[in-house]
């Protein structure tokens, strides 16, 4: 049980830090992010909503319970990381490792969170 808790909190903490740094970059370095989104072919008006969604996802992920909203947050982040990987891969900027690391942390957090909170589901 202690190993599950340790892996869960380490992976969730690192994932949360990654998401908060990303949201901070979206908000405070908007010009660079706008150029990146334009290169991806994405509209730049989704930058701020994505930043807010990442912050809300962190709040949900660090909650102590397993709930439907937490499942939705995990699934939304899964799709975000898959799309981020392919966006970076397709334009060939070599920045897709961030998405891979985020995906590994997300899957680790999900698996160990399910083990840790299985009595609450």
pLDDT at 121 over 50: no
**pLDDT tens digits for range 30-52:** 999 999 899 888 999 999 999 99
What is the C-alpha separation between 4 and 112, in angstroms, rounded? Answer: 5
- Are 96 and 85 contacting, i.e. CB atoms less than 8 angstroms apart? yes
- pTM exceeds cut of 0.95: no
| C-alpha dihedral (106, 109, 65, 70), degrees to nearest 10 | 10
């Amino acid at each position: 049980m202690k190993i599950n808790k340790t892996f869960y909190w380490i992976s969730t903490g690192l994932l949360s830090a990654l998401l908060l740094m990303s949201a901070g970059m979206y908000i405070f370095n908007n010009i660079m992010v706008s150029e990146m989104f334009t290169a991806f072919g994405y509209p730049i008006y989704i930058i701020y909503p994505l930043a807010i969604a990442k912050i809300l996802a962190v709040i949900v992920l660090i909650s102590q319970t397993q709930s439907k909203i937490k499942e939705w947050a995990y699934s939304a982040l899964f799709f975000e990381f898959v799309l981020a990987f392919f966006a970076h891969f397709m334009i060939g900027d070599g920045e897709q490792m961030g998405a891979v690391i985020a995906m590994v942390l997300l899957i680790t957090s999900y698996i160990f969170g399910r083990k840790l909170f299985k009595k609450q589901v």
